[in-house]
Structure 1
Amino acid sequence: MRTAAVAGWPTFETPEDVERIEAVPLADRDLPATTYQVVRRAAVQWPERVAVSVMPDAARWREAVSLTYGELLDGVDRVANALVRRGVTPTTPVAIVAPNCLQLVPAMLGVQAAGVAVPLNGGLSAEHLATLLERAGVRHAVVASPDLDGGIWDKLSGLAAAGHLDHLFLLDPTDDTRSTVATLEGVDGVAVEYLADAAAAEQPGHDDPHTAEDIAAVFHTGGTTGIPKLAAHTHANQVIDAWLIAADSTADTSGEPATMLGALPLFHVNALHVTMLAPMLKGQRVVWAGPLGYRDPALYGEIWKLVEHYSVATMSAVPTVYAVLAGCPVDADISSLRFAVVGASALPPAVRSAFEDRTGVPLLEGYGLTEGTCASARSFVTDPRPGSVGKRLPYQQLRVVDVAPDGSWTDVPAGGVGTLLIGGPTVFAGYVTGRGDDGFVLDHLGKVRDGWLDTGDLARIDDGFLYLTGRAKDLIIRGGHNIDPAAIEDALRAHPAVADAAAVGRPDPRAGEVPVAYVTVVADMQTSAVDLEEFVAASSLEPAARPKSVTIIDALPVTDVGKPYKLALRADAARRAIEDALADVAGVADVVGLVADGSVRVVVTVGADADVDAVGARLDEFALASEVVVP
């Protein structure tokens, strides 16, 4: 017999709370069915509370423009109704390509209320964007106006002129400046209008056409390793994961609702779930740090002042952000900041120590991925576990398995390392591989089996806590021996001068590949590659894992959302390997390591009098895509 729905929030502050929360079935938790119902419920409960405050840019953080929950719902209704009037149905994909701004918040939610949101990174190449638009069947797009982001406007207007889009809805800057009216003159069949103008002509009130199992949004994964995949999320995926994030009561304070700082781009799942939907479920306020967010250098000189001004209780960012913040003098009262959340990549111990020592604010790690909607594990202020990304969120399940050559899975005993699997209500609906008459064509492409998502991450689980040890695809295979790069990276991070480290495989004609490492150095500290090589050689690393070289660089490469980008390092390692192999061959002018469609390629340029056969013979010794160019 079904029990009555349970309203209100459970206590979620300790690891033991996970099982207590699960004592109530998820179906009895009284969750909204769709993201639109999240907004409507918030507007009914807290119409006068501030939902969002958006800065025009980091330098003008005192000039943030705000919307109450009542005003936000009004905006969402009008956007949704304008889209419906222009032919958008519950299965119509609408691309969203714009930096964070005030109008983007009701636009994102309004698109999900009318159709399906397809947020895309405006930094992708026009070719990649065109492929993703075609794959998802997108003909409508909400895009940055020239006043908001001229680069995005040029790219998307060009795609529209080339026949990839039929309708462009433009977003204005947060300060509502509109210096010119953008058009596509001389281009037949493309409508261009400002979304604010279209929405202003509509009335509030919207009939939600979606169910919990309908697709709410499609997010691209990665974006720097060839054409990204498009992962589809249902409304249930998004609402449930946002509710699990919001259930964390650590940031709750008596009286006024907590305020969160949002500065990641809304084309990323963390921004949508952690700093948009989750706060709305509790009637909290999010302060958005302008269109560039954490990529705005001006933010770092002002961040502690704005934390004090807005009484920010928590924030979410990536390790590279906290590494910078650790060097920012605390020039304001930040006692409101109860904790800060970090994810997307491993948190170097040196970064944790430096940030916490500087601010006194605990850093809590979390774990998730786009195919799991967003978050699947979180840490606790009350029970810190160094090196762990936390315990699973309620109603989600974690397993660690060995993957056999035939693809079969065998569970690994507790504490053993294997491939991490996720099960539960946040596993995505599938990748969008095309579009048919009834909507998206979805395929899990082998990532999901019997409801379990293969994350591709290597991990172990001890006492219920999750410890990540690397990516399965990042394993360095030296003569058939698997080497976990995380062990090399941890050994190097133990050096007091090392801020962060990344280990990759360097192509080798005999062993297939050998480990090499790249490091960044703590500011104002001195070390050398030789010193680091000697340091790691004296560590407890097994001999096969000791890196053949250590290279000091200014910064480890990352994606737009702060995830490590090891392909760039592999390309550099491959370049160095080929340069060494060709050192005694005359006529070699240049060696370049490239990343193309998710793989590494080396291009060797030789002079007209070079022995091309000798160069080719050396290259053939490596299991590596390569090309010889004779100008």
Structure 2
Amino acid sequence: MSADTLWPDARSPHDVAIIEQVPLQSRGLPASTYDLVLRAGRLWPDRTALTVLPDGADYLSNATRTFGQLAADVTRSAKVLQYFGIQRGDAVLLISPNCDELITATLAAQAAGIAVPINGSLSTEHVTQLARLSGARVLITAAPDLDPAGVRRAAALVDAGLIDTVLLLRPTLAAAAPGPLPVVSGATIAYLSALADEHDDQPLDGAPADPAQLAALFHTGGTTGTPKLAAHTQGNEVTDAWMVAISADLDDDAVIFAALPLFHVNALIVTLLAPLLRGQPVVWAGPLGYRDMSLYQNFWRIVEHYRLAAMSAVPTVYAVLAHIPVDADISTLTSAVSGASALPDTVRLDFHNATGVHLVEGYGLTEATCASARSFPDHPRTGAVGQRMPYQHLKIVEVGDDGTWQELPAGQVGTLVINGPTVFPGYVTGRTDDSYLLDGRGALRDGWLDTGDLASVDDDGFVYLAGRAKDLIIRGGHNIDPAVIEDALLAHPDVTAAAAVARPDAHSGEVPVGFVTVRAGATVTGDDLTAFAAERISERAAIPKTVTVIDAIPVTDVGKPYKVPLRATAAEHALTDALAAQPGVLHIIGKVNAGMPTVALTLGPGADHTAVERVVKSFAVNHEIHHE
């Protein structure tokens, strides 16, 4: 397979049509992520693959491995998993902060079976739910010197009858020898690295993985806040990683920076598998990633020291970095990609003014593996989050009341749907003796994925997002796109993030309100921003009734914007205003109950219960009434 076939030119929007003239199956991609790892070890055995920092403060220290060493370590660790009975269809839970050994363990889990990376900050209830759904019996987690909560989580899963084998990971550059193994009654427990040293690095025996077999189960909360397990095939991950690699427009020796947690698809696809395909070195942040304050303090020196060329992060990270004085030579940094939520123009401008680097957006979702659209720094398209990636097909449909889809012409706003080799096979709903039961849960139709996002697509395949379908604000039967309000608020120079939601209204059903975060030291008020938005929104019904300044826009446990708490707060404000003249109303609190915005009211002895209930019911909002 020639290099030109595997690595076509993808530098301009016109290249996508040329790339697709060659069938994807003729590109010569590895069949599985393990094949991808072995290929990197063969092609670049002595080239540095990974540089892992212990933390942001001690950034000059690091653990390094070549592509050859990584392939050997992945093979040895996969053999450990096989020893404990893991076969191709078996799941392995991974719950740990990022560290050198977690990279190996994640790839090994996909080589031997199916990786199930889980965010350790999820609630115990959610972790247990996901573990039970996965059917995993083996857990890879943090040793006490990496994260003291690791063994506690393991014990809880063992007590629940879910896990019988616990393999521990050490911190990057662990200074001391491992301590005595903690006791987890009812389970075998060992250090993964110690067991791996007992195995050779000859490639795994047995039939190679098929692209259609499962590689991973990633939890995703969408905007509901309740995690689900989305299945990824080996072909999903390898193909999407290749699409990212050809789209990055970076030299083979370009150094990539990685700081997102490995339970996030971006960390696996964009900063692990894609560089492995291209032979590019990656510098990994410490276990706290972008939550490490010392990382920000030293970030520009890290760019200079490791000659970083590219990074990927969420808008809030760039908002912080834009205000960290550049105290080093960062001329190697040419690519900075933003995703996961809308990129405010304020953040884009501040980051460019501070660094000279243009932020570009991308678009993707776990159900389409990771990335589905990319931007071109040299070919900007105002307002777009990017052009569809090769072999992924996008269209806009109108979803009828009866659930039917009607395709809309280019430029019209509707529901964005995706088809192609990165679309997942479904969510895990159960398990038989030898396989998982997968169901699209309404998201899949004839191979097309309903993203739940409102958007338009132009004739060149560029995507213009317009909000979430379920986030539409319906005022007296009139549909209001929250993005119209959010874009107006984000145009203010002090606003760093914005969310528009529906507030219940006794007369119109719903009215729009806004919530924003502002830059440090800003004195702008909610009233100022309400007036500011009103001047920029031509649709009178879409002008927000109020704008509230808050500390942070809520996100789900998997890091996606989560508007349900804001709708609960909006409902609280609405009822507080409506009941201001009612005696005996002691407390009104907006909260989330079973994933729904709910208002809890506490009434005292002097309250007219009938009158209060009449007012509350007129708002058609979920509510609880307590009496003192």
The TM-score range, normalised by the shorter chain, is: over 0.9
Deviation of the 1:489 alpha carbon: 1.1
- Aligned partners of 2:556 and 2:562 also within 8 Å: yes
Deviations for 1:393-450, whole angstroms, at most 9, x for unmatched residues?
A: 0011010111111111111111111100101100001100011112111011121111
Partner residue in 1 for 2:550? 553
* Deviation at residue 595 of structure 1 after TM alignment: 1.8
SS of the equivalent of 1:58 reads: coil
Q: Alpha-carbon deviations, 1:214-237, whole Å to 9, x = none?
A: 000000112773431110000000
- Give secondary structure in 2 for the equivalent of 1:247: helix
Deviation at 1:608, TM superposition (A): 4.9
Aligned pair in 2 of structure 1 residues 94, 223: CA closer, same or farther (>3 Å)?
farther
1:251 corresponds in structure 2 to 250
Tell me, in whole angstroms, the C-alpha distance in 2 between the residues paired with 1:610 and 1:156.
49
How many Å apart are 1:624 and its aligned residue? Answer: 1.9
Where does residue 347 of structure 2 map in the other structure?
351
Which of 468, 481, 486 aligns to 1:484? It is 481
Partners of 2:611 and 2:44 in 1: CA distance: 74
Aligned counterpart, 2:211: 212
Q: Take 1:89 and 1:530, find their aligned partners in 2: how far apart are those partners?
A: 60
- Residue identity opposite 1:424 in structure 2: G
CA distance in 1 between counterparts of 2:399 and 2:622 reads: 27
The one-letter code of the counterpart of 1:228 is: P
Aligned to 2:60: 62
Question: What is the letter of the counterpart of residue 603 of structure 1?
Answer: A
Aligned to 1:86: 84
Question: How far did 1:5 drift?
Answer: 10
Say whether 1:436 aligns with 2:435.
no
2:381 to 370, 382, 385: 385
Return the alpha-carbon distance in structure 1 between the equivalents of residues 589 and 134 of structure 2. Answer: 34
Matches of 1:608 and 1:397, distance apart in 2:
62
What is the DSSP-based 3-state SS (H/G/I as helix, E as strand, rest coil) of the residue aligned with 2:58?
helix
Supply the distance in 2 between the matched residues of 1:433 and 1:585 (Cα, whole angstroms).
Answer: 48
In structure 1, distance between residues paired with 2:374 and 2:290:
22
Note the C-alpha offset of 1:250. 2.0
Closer, same or farther: CA 553–226 of 1 in aligned 2, 3 Å: closer
- The aligned amino acid for 1:120 is I
Query: Are residue 281 (structure 1) and residue 277 (structure 2) matched?
Result: yes
Contact 1:54 1:102 (8 Å CA) reproduced: yes
Mean Cα displacement is larger for which, 491-500 or 383-392? 491-500
One-letter code of the match for 1:220?
H
Shift of 1:379: 0.3
Q: Deviations over 1:257-310 (max 9, x none)?
A: 111000001001110000000000011111111001011111111111111111
Aligned to 1:168: 166
Alpha-carbon offset, residue 155 of structure 1 = 2.5
Contact 2:485–2:537 (CA under 8 A) maintained in structure 1: no
* CA-atom RMSD in angstroms: 1.8
Task: For 1:529-608, list aligned pairs within 5 A.
Answer: 529-559=526-556, 562-608=559-605
> 2-side partners of 1:481 and 1:249: how far apart?
41
Q: Does 1:103 align with 2:65?
A: no
Distance in 1 separating the partners of 2:599 and 2:199: 56
Say which of 257, 261, 267 aligns to 1:261.
Answer: 257
Tell me the number of residue pairs that the alignment of Structure 1 and Structure 2 aligns: 624
Shift of 1:483: 0.1
**2:196 aligned residue:** 199
Q: Matches of 1:560 and 1:67 in 2, distance apart?
A: 32
Task: Tell me which residue corresponds to 1:316.
Answer: 312
Aligned to 2:127: 129
Secondary structure of residue in 2 paired with 1:127 = helix
Residue 501 of structure 1 and its aligned partner are, at CA, apart by 1.7
**Code of the aligned partner of 1:98:** S
State how far apart, in whole Å, the 2-side matches of 1:201 and 1:597 are.
48
Give the stretch that moved more between structures: 513-522 or 306-315. 513-522
Partners of 1:520 and 1:325 lie apart in 2 by 16
Q: CA deviation at 1:575?
A: 1.4
Aligned pairs for 1:519-534 (under 5 A) are: 519-534=516-531
Asked if structure 1 preserves the Cα contact closer than 8 Å seen for 2:45 and 2:68, the reply is yes
Shift of residue 497 of structure 1? 2.8
Which amino acid in structure 2 is aligned with residue 172 of structure 1?
R
Counterparts of 1:456-475 in structure 2, within 5 Å, are 456-464=452-460, 465-475=462-472
**For the Cα contact (< 8 Å) 1:225–1:596, is it kept in 2?**
no
Provide runs of 4+ in structure 1 moved above 6 Å: 3-6
**Partners of 1:168 and 1:192 within 8 A in 2:** yes
Q: Distance in 1 between matches of 2:525 and 2:210?
A: 59
Structure-2 change in CA distance of 1:151 and 1:589 (3 Å) = farther
Q: Distance in 2 between matches of 1:612 and 1:228?
A: 38
User: Taking structure 1 as reference, are residues 201 and 76 closer, same or farther at Cα in structure 2, changes over 3 Å only?
Assistant: same
Partners of 1:600 and 1:572 lie apart in 2 by 8
Matched ranges for 1:14-53 at <5 A: 14-53=12-51
Q: Deviations over 1:118-176 (max 9, x none)?
A: 11111111111111111121221111112111234322322222322111111111122
CA distance in structure 1 between the partners assigned to 2:608 and 2:537 by the alignment: 45
Q: How far apart, in 2, do the equivalents of 1:601 and 1:71 lie?
A: 54
Asked if structure 2 preserves the Cα contact closer than 8 Å seen for 1:421 and 1:452, the reply is yes
Asked whether the 8 Å contact 2:222–2:560 carries over to 1, the reply is no
What is the rounded CA distance, in whole Å, between the counterparts of 1:614 and 1:120 in structure 2? 47
Deviation at 1:527, TM superposition (A): 1.8
Q: Is the 8 A contact 2:223 2:563 kept in 1?
A: no
| Aligned residues of 2:132 and 2:162 also touching (Cα < 8 A) | yes
Q: 1:337 maps to which residue? A: 333
Q: Distance in 2 between matches of 1:251 and 1:338?
A: 9
Change (3 A) 1:178 1:408: farther
Shift of 1:560: 5.3
Give the aligned partner of residue 415 of structure 1: 411
Contact 1:6 1:28 (8 Å CA) reproduced: no
Following TM superposition, by how much is the alpha carbon of 1:604 offset from its aligned partner in structure 2, in angstroms? 1.6
Query: In percent, how many aligned pairs have the same letter?
Result: 54
Residue 537 of structure 1: how far off its partner (Å)? 2.0
Asked if the contact 2:225/2:557 (under 8 Å) is kept, the reply is: no
In structure 2, C-alpha distance between the alignment counterparts of 1:25 and 1:489, rounded to whole Å = 41
SS of structure 1 residue aligned to 2:410: coil
Structure 1 portions without partners, runs of 5+:
none
Partner of 2:138: 140
Rounded Cα–Cα distance in structure 2 between residues aligned with 1:552 and 1:278 = 39
Task: Tell me the amino acid that sits aligned with residue 83 of structure 1.
Answer: L
Secondary structure of the residue aligned to 1:388 is: coil
Q: Letter of the aligned partner of 2:326 in structure 1?
A: V
1:402 corresponds in structure 2 to: 398
Counterparts of 2:590 and 2:181 in 1: how far apart (Å)?
A: 40
Q: Distance in 2 between matches of 1:17 and 1:481?
A: 41
Task: Flag structure 2 segments of 5+ consecutive residues without an equivalent.
Answer: none
SS of residue paired to 2:59: helix
CA contact 1:143–1:170 (8 Å) conserved in 2: yes
TM-score using structure 1 length: 0.96
Partner letter of residue 149 of structure 1? D
Deviation at 1:6, TM superposition (A): 6.6
1:320–1:562: 8 Å Cα contact kept in structure 2? no
TM-score after normalising by structure 2 = 0.96
- How far does residue 4 in structure 1 lie from its aligned partner after superposition? 9.2
Aligned mates of 2:560, 2:179 — CA distance in 1: 37
Q: Distance in 1 between matches of 2:349 and 2:55?
A: 30
Deviation at 1:479, TM superposition (A): 1.2
Q: 1:281 to 1:342 in 2, by over 3 A?
A: same
Q: Alpha-carbon deviations, 1:506-528, whole Å to 9, x = none?
A: 11122111100012223344322
Distance in 1, Cα, partners of 2:335 & 2:577: 48
Question: Which amino acid in 1 is paired with 2:171?
Answer: P
Contact 2:428 2:438 in 1 (8 A): yes
Indicate whether 1:628 and 2:620 are aligned.
no
